[in-house]
Amino acid sequence: MSEIGSISILLSFFISIYSLVFSIIGVKKRNRSFVKSAENGLIAIFLLLLFAGGSLIYELITLNFSIKYVALNTSTDLPLIYRISSLWAGQAGSLLLWSIILSGFTAVVVIQNRNKDRDFQPYVNATLAVISLFFLFLITYVENPFEKLDFIPNEGRGLNPILQNGYMAIHPLTLYIGYVGISIPFAFGMAALISGKLDDNWIRNSRKWALFAWTFLSVGLLLGARWAYLELGWGGYWAWDPVENAAFMPWLAGTAFLHSIMIQERKGMFKKWNIILLIITFFLTIFGTFLTRSGIVSSVHSFAQSDIGPLFLGFIAFILLFSFSIFTYRLKEFESKEKFDSLLSRESAFVFNNLLFLAAAFTVFLGTIFPILSEAITGNKILVGPPYFNKVNVPIGLVLILLMGVGPLISWRKASPNNLKKNFLIPAIFGIATGILLLILGIREFVAVATFSICAFVTSTIFIEFFRGVKVRSKRGENYLVAFSNLVSKNRRRYGGYIIHLGVVLIVIGITSSSVFLTQREVVLSKGDSFDLGRYTLVFEGVKTFSNDAKDGTVATLALFDGNKNLGNMTPEKNIYKYEGNREINQETEVALRSTIRDDLYLILSNSTDDGRASIRALLNPMVSWIWGGGIFILLGALVAMWPGVKFARFHSFIPEISGTRRKTS
């Protein structure tokens, strides 16, 4: 099987060169069959890479240790599901998966646009072929997942135990889809620059991809946070580690892009800016991969590292140089239609949205590469930790959330006092009332009071929007439910956006509560000891040891009481994996978690002695589950916004005619 895989990736590599060359020749010489042939090549790459992926999965499942990748990432005791997920546990497999996803998306783009924009689409294909080419080069010549060992080990190295977790199995996949998805709008943007067709068509045809990629990035980030929370056993979900930042930066820039393309569609402004944002976002996805894979910044996450760092740097340099030079070349051809009228307008809300998202991305970028910068400039390695990121990003985040309430409702061009009063009076009252109420309740943490007030403000703007829409429709005789569903389905992007905003509010509330109002205790317990944490009382019933094929475990049992009510047992564990294969880690802390909508009780068994004492770290993290709940809202909102509606289908059927007439006139 591995031969099929090797040949498939080698062929794909050459076909991507072919498709690149023939796309460009085809569009230059107006030779349709060349373009078509290049497109078929891109589809063939996808099929070939599916074969390659399939054969690697086959080798992983059957544990063919003669293949280096299999030997390094699996072992005989690994369950089937994690043998499959080993496909993205190591470097070479991750790069293969990356290529498969990219080629899959490329194939969809090719098929969707087969008869459209013949003088534009080949450039999209060519750009995607270049990106493919880079990754296929890596897996063919540098990090080949099918590389053979010259001996056959009896046993493989195994999969890191902390990666043997359901969230870890899907989190990288989700993030990759998000990362790779950004390539599609980037390719459309590049095609616009290369072809000189700088109208809004490229945005219209790629914005769903942008939203799609963004959704996967968001969900991927949250899954990663949840994995860290459940598996790493330190009680938190985000540590501003370079690897986390690597995924967060493209999300920030991508969020700015998603917002600012709306203003180009509606008002014809920000055309240059959108291209720049897109280049930055794509750069950050590649840079993020470089950061995690090259080991240039030290991270607690253990990633397989290798020599592909310089190649990535070269690719990044190529992307930036190429895209900015062609951008400069086209600079004079952009036409901006409208000008700003007023500071109090939706246009300016968008400006500040973009400014702040980009500033956040920049400050995260700066903090992440600070050790490299400072070493280069001063000779001393200086780093900035989580306090830096929090200090800088919390204020930026607060203003952004405020804008999230203002932006969607403030008038275009210039907001009149009447408009402001109509849209913001009630929400402002809600916001201020929330603040006062919290102060009366005795909460003195300024950040929390400010955040909750702003969240109340934003939430009420969103609810009022829904309420008004439903009221107007119900006056026309629709009952409330019908009115609601019609309201949303007639304007999916808008109301999908509101649902996403609501999800963001939930996440912000969760993050604020769990970081500001966290309580924790460290206790050393003998059998029968008890301690209180918040409303809970925990009674220690002793430690037990157990042993199975995979591990030696120590498990502490604590009976949990809320007042007098027995809520069952909590059993944090500390396990030592017998199998030495994956040397990076053989100890694993298994936390005990009781999650409610109000708070999470999180128990860590830190240590235990032979005479039956145990030291326990207990955390009460308020409202963490709101973060995951917010993630569900984001996913739901994105689905609403992306769902192909009636309008969309009609829009599509017009396309061939429109592009047909354009071709004749040009």
Chain positions 121 to 140 lying near another protein, rule: CB under 8 A, are: none
Of 321, 576, 597, 658, the residue at the interface with another protein (CB under 8 A) is 576
Contacts of residue 81, defined as CB under 8 A and 6 or more positions apart, other chains included, come to 169
User: Kind and range of the H or E element at 541?
Assistant: strand 536-547
Segment contacting another protein by CB under 8 A, of 221-229, 418-426, 576-584, 651-659: 576-584
Nearest of 552, 539, 612 to residue 578 by alpha carbon:
552
Residue 385 in contact with another protein, rule: CB under 8 A: yes
Question: Cα Rg for the chain, rounded, in angstroms?
Answer: 27
For residues 260 and 311, is the Cβ–Cβ distance under 8 A? no
Under DSSP, the state recorded for 235 is: S
Contacts of residue 210, defined as CB under 8 A and 6 or more positions apart, other chains included, come to 181, 182, 184, 185, 254, 257, 258, 261
Point out which residues pair with 588 in neighbouring strands: 575
Residue 255 in contact with another protein, rule: CB under 8 A: no
Token pair for residue 81? Answer: 């599901």
Residue 267 in contact with another protein, rule: CB under 8 A: no
Contacts of residue 100, defined as CB under 8 A and 6 or more positions apart, other chains included, come to 46, 49, 50, 52, 53
Residue 328 in contact with another protein, rule: CB under 8 A: no
* Burial class of residue 476 in the structure, from the number of CB atoms within 10 Å of its CB (0-12 exposed, 13-18 middle, 19+ buried): exposed
Residue 572 in contact with another protein, rule: CB under 8 A: no
Interface of this chain with another protein, residues 516 to 535, rule: CB under 8 A: 522, 524
Interface of this chain with another protein, residues 534 to 553, rule: CB under 8 A: 552
Q: What is the C-alpha to C-alpha distance for residues 474 and 256, in angstroms, rounded to an integer?
A: 35
Interface of this chain with another protein, residues 616 to 645, rule: CB under 8 A: 617
Token pair for residue 142? Answer: 């540098």
Of 84, 304, 443, 516, the residue at the interface with another protein (CB under 8 A) is 304
Of 29, 114, 391, 663, the residue at the interface with another protein (CB under 8 A) is 391
Residue 372 in contact with another protein, rule: CB under 8 A: no
Residue 300 in contact with another protein, rule: CB under 8 A: yes
Q: In degrees rounded to 5, what are phi and psi of residue 491?
A: -145, 65
Residue 615 in contact with another protein, rule: CB under 8 A: yes
Nearer to another protein, 326 or 524 (CB): 524
Of 613, 629, 636, 655, the residue at the interface with another protein (CB under 8 A) is 613
Segment contacting another protein by CB under 8 A, of 6-14, 330-338, 574-582, 628-636: 574-582
Residue 154 in contact with another protein, rule: CB under 8 A: yes
Q: What is the DSSP string of 447-484?
A: HHHHHHHHHHHHHHHHHHHHHHHHHHHHHTT--HHHHH
Nearest of 172, 391, 390 to residue 301 by alpha carbon:
172
Minimum distance, C-beta of residue 351 to another protein, in the bound complex (Å): 6
Residue 587 in contact with another protein, rule: CB under 8 A: yes
Segment contacting another protein by CB under 8 A, of 10-18, 32-40, 354-362, 463-471: 354-362
Interface of this chain with another protein, residues 167 to 226, rule: CB under 8 A: none
Of 3, 199, 341, 532, the residue at the interface with another protein (CB under 8 A) is 341
Interface of this chain with another protein, residues 57 to 116, rule: CB under 8 A: 68, 71-72, 75, 90-91
Of 141, 318, 329, 340, the residue at the interface with another protein (CB under 8 A) is 340
Interface of this chain with another protein, residues 403 to 462, rule: CB under 8 A: 414
Binding residues with another protein: total (CB under 8 A): 83
Residue 288 in contact with another protein, rule: CB under 8 A: no
Residue 235 in contact with another protein, rule: CB under 8 A: yes
Amino acid in the structure at residue 558: L
Of 517, 578, 645, 655, the residue at the interface with another protein (CB under 8 A) is 578
Interface of this chain with another protein, residues 551 to 570, rule: CB under 8 A: 552
Kindly list the distances between the CA atom of residue 340 and the CA atoms of 156, 417, 421, in Å, as whole numbers in the listed order.
63, 18, 22
For residues 333 and 196, is the Cβ–Cβ distance under 8 A? yes
Minimum distance, C-beta of residue 590 to another protein, in the bound complex (Å): 10
The SS3 of residue 496 is helix
C-alpha 652, offset from chain centre = 29
Residue 338 in contact with another protein, rule: CB under 8 A: no
Segment contacting another protein by CB under 8 A, of 123-131, 196-204, 213-221, 232-240: 232-240
Residue 376 in contact with another protein, rule: CB under 8 A: no
Segment contacting another protein by CB under 8 A, of 125-133, 255-263, 387-395, 498-506: 387-395
Residue 581 in contact with another protein, rule: CB under 8 A: yes
Token pair for residue 516? Answer: 């500001």
166-195 and 309-330 helices, crossing angle to 10°: 30
Of 31, 115, 298, 661, the residue at the interface with another protein (CB under 8 A) is 298
Of 352, 412, 466, 561, the residue at the interface with another protein (CB under 8 A) is 352
Segment contacting another protein by CB under 8 A, of 16-24, 304-312, 465-473, 639-647: 304-312
Under DSSP, the state recorded for 411 is: P
For residues 282 and 334, is the Cβ–Cβ distance under 8 A? no
